[in-house]
């Protein structure tokens, strides 16, 4: 187990929907997989032991955030993020590209130098090159690394999209070189090209030539409609290598994931379960519940009578309504762990339905509820 090489095995398929398994020396990841987001080395509001109990097999860390805080010097001292945060299962890291575009004050993108930007915290200047991004991800010691890409805001401007693909392809090649030979870890390429099928296929082709351990769809869930996203996934995912994991970055709601799985996606990450946990929105088999709603004030029923984790089935909606209205930390704690647990149960049922050749039924049952 300790010496396991990074690999992916396809186990079952139901039309385009796939069940697979990623192996790493830190553990297996059953796909379709949902990765809770641990932006700053913590999945917000959740103890790592409880996170394990949700069945989460992999989490995501953000290179941009972790390079600023705590920084690579501290991460190196601990031999990476696993020991630092007490999470010994696999970690995937993004490259920092998306946050540089969305969060930092971006000064310049130069294909040779990289991205020059100022921290959103204190304005401190950073340069992130493809090489630097991989070096930081090595300090984080993540098990799956992502290439640095230029991730443009939602646009139909073909010239902008082509330029982003050019830069991203160049950077992807340099990331692969910097990553080097390491069979224990995986490096994923990121397909760009906006909502344009031909540009997406062009980007994908360039990445396949470089040869990655997995391929991600980037630049989605950035403001387009769900129909637009499903449309581009349906036209592109089928061309992604079948023997490699396919990852849809930053997605999403349960219905987003249903549609993406239907087109053949294997991996997801999203802050929705924990962010919603902090605002009082619970995901359940009955759909989304806004626990701030006055109608729950005297509701003695739990969110899910079958979930014993953290005693969740012993807390009433009435109590959760009270906690969330009172801005109590316990509200975030309880609803966040509930939501992550629901997401993982949702993935279990997706995998089961695919194995049973029944995914269409599952899809039709739940696409309306979310």
Which one of the listed residues 14, 50, 94, 149 is annotated catalytic? 94
Least gap, CB of 99 to a second copy (angstroms): 15
Interface residue with a second copy, options 237, 333, 335, 354 (CB under 8 A):
333
Residues 72-131 that bind a second copy (CB under 8 A): 73-74, 77-78, 84-86
Classify residue 46 as exposed, middle or buried by CB count within 10 Å of its CB (0-12, 13-18, 19+).
Answer: buried
Residue 305 in contact with a second copy, rule: CB under 8 A: no
* 3-class state of residue 302 by DSSP: strand
Q: Which of 196, 208, 218 is nearest to 151 (CA)?
A: 218
Which of these is catalytic: 143, 202, 266, 269? 269
Q: Give 181: exposed, middle or buried? Use CB within 10 Å, 0-12, 13-18, 19+.
A: exposed
**Catalytic residue at 266?**
no
Cβ of 226: how many Cβ atoms within 10 Å? 14
Residue 243 vs 326, nearer CB to a second copy? 326
> Is 94 an annotated catalytic residue?
yes
Taking the complex as a whole, the smallest distance from the CB of residue 313 to a second copy amounts, in Å, to 10
For the bound state, the minimum distance from the C-beta of residue 26 to a second copy, rounded and expressed in Å, comes to 17
Neighbours of 368 (CB within 10 A): 9
Q: Please, which residue, 257 or 334, has the CB nearer to a second copy?
A: 334
Tell me if residue 246 falls in helix, strand or coil. Answer: strand
* Contact flag: residue 45 with a second copy (CB under 8 A): yes
Q: Residue 236 or 324: which CB sits closer to a second copy?
A: 324
- Helix ranges (H only) for the chain are 48-53, 63-68, 72-77, 81-85, 97-102, 130-140, 158-179, 197-210, 226-236, 254-262, 272-279, 317-325, 329-355, 359-367
Query: x/- site string to a second copy, residues 262 to 281, per CB under 8 A?
Result: ----------------x---
Active site (catalytic) residues? 94, 269
Return residues touching a second copy (CB under 8 A): 40-42, 44-49, 69-70, 73-74, 77-78, 84-86, 278, 297-298, 300, 310-311, 314-316, 318-319, 322-323, 325-326, 328-330, 332-333
């Amino acid at each position: 187990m300790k010496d396991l090489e990074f690999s992916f095995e396809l186990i079952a398929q139901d039309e385009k929907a796939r069940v697979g398994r990623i192996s790493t020396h830190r553990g297996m990841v059953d796909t379709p997989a949902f990765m809770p987001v641990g932006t700053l080395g913590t999945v917000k509001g959740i103890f790592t032991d409880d996170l394990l109990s949700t069945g989460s097999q992999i989490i995501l860390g953000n290179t941009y955030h972790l390079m600023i805080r705590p920084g690579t010097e501290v991460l190196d001292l601990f031999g990476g993020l696993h020991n630092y945060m007490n999470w010994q299962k696999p970690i995937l890291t993004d490259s920092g590209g998306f946050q540089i575009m969305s969060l930092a004050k971006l000064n310049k993108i130069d294909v040779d130098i990289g991205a020059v930007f100022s921290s959103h915290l204190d304005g401190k200047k950073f340069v992130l090159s493809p090489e630097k991004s991989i070096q930081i991800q090595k300090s984080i010691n993540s098990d799956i690394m992502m290439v640095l890409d230029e991730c443009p805001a939602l646009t139909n401007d073909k010239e902008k999209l082509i330029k982003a693909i050019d830069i991203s392809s160049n950077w992807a090649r340099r990331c692969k070189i910097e990553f080097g030979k390491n069979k224990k870890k995986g490096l994923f390429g990121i397909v760009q090209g906006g909502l344009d099928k031909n540009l997406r296929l062009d980007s994908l082709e360039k990445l396949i030539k470089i040869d990655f351990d997995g391929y991600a769809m980037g630049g989605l869930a950035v403001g387009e409609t769900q129909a637009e996203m499903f449309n581009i996934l349906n036209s592109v995912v089928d061309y992604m290598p079948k023997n490699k994991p396919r990852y849809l970055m930053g997605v999403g709601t349960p219905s987003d994931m249903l549609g993406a799985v239907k087109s053949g996606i294997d991996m997801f990450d999203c802050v929705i379960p924990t962010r919603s946990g902090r605002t009082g929105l619970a995901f359940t088999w009955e759909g989304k519940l806004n626990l701030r709603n006055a109608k729950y004030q005297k509701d003695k029923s739990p969110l899910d009578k079958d979930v014993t984790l953290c005693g969740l089935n012993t807390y009433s909606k009435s109590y959760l309504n009270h906690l969330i209205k009172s801005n109590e930390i316990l509200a975030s704690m309880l609803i966040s762990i509930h939501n992550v647990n629901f997401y993982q149960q949702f993935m279990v049922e997706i995998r089961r339905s695919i194995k049973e050749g029944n995914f269409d039924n599952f899809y039709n049952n739940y696409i309306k509820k979310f």
